[in-house]
Structure 1
């Protein structure tokens, strides 16, 4: 009887071990399925991160290119390119000239003369212009200051050397046109020489502008 009980006890013990194994197997299968699902979730997140990183790199590269382009146009950086060089000097005074007369006024380069010339150059392919080392931008002032022309707060004496980088296919026909500002100034006695350049360098003469008073519009 003891042996029978013992046999039952042994049998029960074996069946209990099998039950544990089945339960363990089912538990492991559930854990594997859960890990598979978790792995898929992480793979999805990783792919999203990769796409965002690629998008960020593309956006960053685009912004860097835009910043560099704007810096060149705004005069923050040295630039190179093809274009023309205009050298302008006041005309020679005649022996019969009366100081302060119209004849005297016409042979001298004034700020309005420079402004008209710059406008025409911009209309005919100029991308950036430098006058005596000063880059001309939308914030540049140009006005007479005695015998000088003031640009970017700098008093510049004649002769005025204009380096113009831009589209030669448009600039070249312009400088040979007999009805432009260049021809008008030459007719007044102002001396102008023109030189075509396949490549030249313009200085970075403008300090970066950090707006203090501009505010974003909140709609």
Structure 2
């Protein structure tokens, strides 16, 4: 009787043990399956995020490429404008240089700039008076004689002119009063030394033309001396305030 109960008890313990093992294995399988499912869901979520981020990067890359194309077109347009300006400047460069030279010449004639360079010196003197002459004024240098020299020098390219050291301006006033001439209110006696800065060969040739200024002055009994100078210096006009 006791052996039967003992065997029965051992049998129950083995059954319980087997059931326990089955439960443990089953629980392990269920837990593993659950974890796998969780991992799959997490992996799927990460993949979705990665795909979304990749799409975002792709769109941003496309936008940058389009912007680069726009910038390249803008750069090409600006380069075309620069080339256009360069061509325009090159075509007008000579004209620009000519305008600058003309402006400087005008400033020289106005006496605003110091003048220095080659030129000529023309000296006009009264002739010796002839007592048998009817009119003694025929032997005196007059303003008309001075003007003839000045006009010829200017049209021959003189850049600056002085009379007895006084710089002439574009609006200078010259008046003859007997044996003296008045320039802008200042009197100067004969002889009258006229200096001009410019191409000395051209200025000299213009004055010496046959039938030109010097011939006319000699015919009017004026003593004329013409010199070509290597260097003439003229200070600019001081404007009184």
Q: What TM-score do the two structures reach when normalised by structure 1? A: 0.68
What's the counterpart of residue 44 of structure 2? 12
Q: 1:46 to 1:145 in 2, by over 3 A?
A: farther
- Answering whether residue 112 of structure 2 is matched by residue 80 of structure 1, we say no
* Alpha-carbon distance, 1:134 to partner: 3.1
Distance 1:3 1:186 in 2: 129
Aligned residues: 200
Tell me the C-alpha RMSD between the 2 structures: 3.7
Distance 1:180 1:42 in 2: 65
* Alpha-carbon distance, 1:42 to partner: 6.4
Q: 1:205 to 1:177 in 2, by over 3 A?
A: same
What's the counterpart of residue 70 of structure 1? 106
What's the counterpart of residue 237 of structure 2? 205
Structure 1 stretches of 4+ with a deviation exceeding 6 A read 48-54
Q: Which has the higher contact order (CA 8 A, sep 6+)?
A: 1
What's the counterpart of residue 149 of structure 2? 117
| Partners of 1:135 and 1:206 within 8 A in 2 | no
What's the counterpart of residue 32 of structure 1? 64
| Partners of 2:200 and 2:229 within 8 A in 1 | no
- Is the deviation greater in 43-52 or in 27-36? 43-52
Q: 1:46 to 1:164 in 2, by over 3 A?
A: same
Q: 1:49 to 1:206 in 2, by over 3 A?
A: farther
Q: How does 1:165-184 map to 2 (within 5 A)?
A: 165-177=197-209, 179-184=211-216
User: Structure 2 stretches of 5 or more lacking a match?
Assistant: 1-32
- Is the deviation greater in 21-30 or in 120-129? 120-129
Q: Which has the larger radius of gyration?
A: 2
Q: What TM-score do the two structures reach when normalised by structure 2? A: 0.63
User: Structure 1 stretches of 5 or more lacking a match?
Assistant: 208-219
| Partners of 1:88 and 1:160 within 8 A in 2 | yes
